[in-house]
Amino acid sequence: MGILFVRRFFLILSEVKMQHGLKREMDLETKKQSVPTATIVSKKTTKIGNVRGLFKKGEMFFSKNDLVAAEGCFVQIIASEDTNLEANLYLGLIYLKQENFPKAEFFFHKLVNLKKDPVYYSNLGLALYKQGRLLEATEAYESAVVLDDKRAARFASLALVYKELNNDEKALINFERASRKSPRNLDYLWAILEYYQKLSRIEDVRSTAKKILELDPYNEDAKRVIHY
């Protein structure tokens, strides 16, 4: 095939969206001390109230993109509760937004050690990818899709890393998997078509072009492929 389609394919950041349903991990255990039980309960309640108040403020600042103020709230929370999952997640997301990828990596590494969650692994993959650590990024994304293979974006992100590693076979496989999860996504179809062209899989090129035309009937590039 003499036609080469060059299309910008942007890394999907949907994994950076918050999972508001994460269960709050709060350590309510206190060491036994020689003080009245009522005093212990009071201290617990005060601590929980402070954490909740800080968390609400942090969420509000984050929603307004006031990342410095949000960071301050969540840092205070983890100073008190180092394993608070949501506070650590927000900090990781803040540092991703600020493009402070080493700090983002730190928090997502911490999170995957606390809990094996596909969102944590996906964001860890992104932080590593942005630092050019491609092999480590593939490991993180692979862990994410093992835990949850329902999201097309995870496969597309993994495909992009393999693309940069010049691993055509794995890049194509993951673009195909992304397309099966999201069959109306034209970006995935064009990425697949380009790999079929590269591999001289002519019939697959044409069949993919037909799928593109079903979604985009006036696409001249796809028409030229079919009639080439």
Residue 86 lies in a domain: yes
Residue 63 lies in a domain: yes
Residue 162 lies in a domain: no
Residue 57 lies in a domain: yes
Place of tokens 């994304």: 141
Q: Whole-prediction pTM value?
A: 0.77
Residue 61 lies in a domain: yes
User: What DSSP letter does each residue of 120-183 carry, written as one string?
Assistant: HHHHHHHHHHHTT-HHHHHHHHHHHHHH----HHHHHHHHHHHHHTT-HHHHHHHHHHHHHHST
Residue 228 lies in a domain: no
Residue 52 lies in a domain: yes
Residue 25 lies in a domain: no
| Domain membership of residue 64 as a residue range | 42-98
* pLDDT score recorded for residue 226: 84
* pLDDT score recorded for residue 35: 36
Nearest to 70 by CA among 90, 50, 86: 90
Residues with pLDDT less than 50, the chain = 1-46
Number of alpha helices (DSSP H) and beta strands (DSSP E) in the chain: 11, 0
Nearest to 125 by CA among 162, 178, 167: 162
* pLDDT score recorded for residue 144: 96
Tell whether the torsion through CA atoms of 8, 128, 151 and 61 is positive or negative. Answer: negative
Q: How many domains is the chain partitioned into structurally?
A: 1
Nearest to 135 by CA among 109, 159, 161, 157: 161
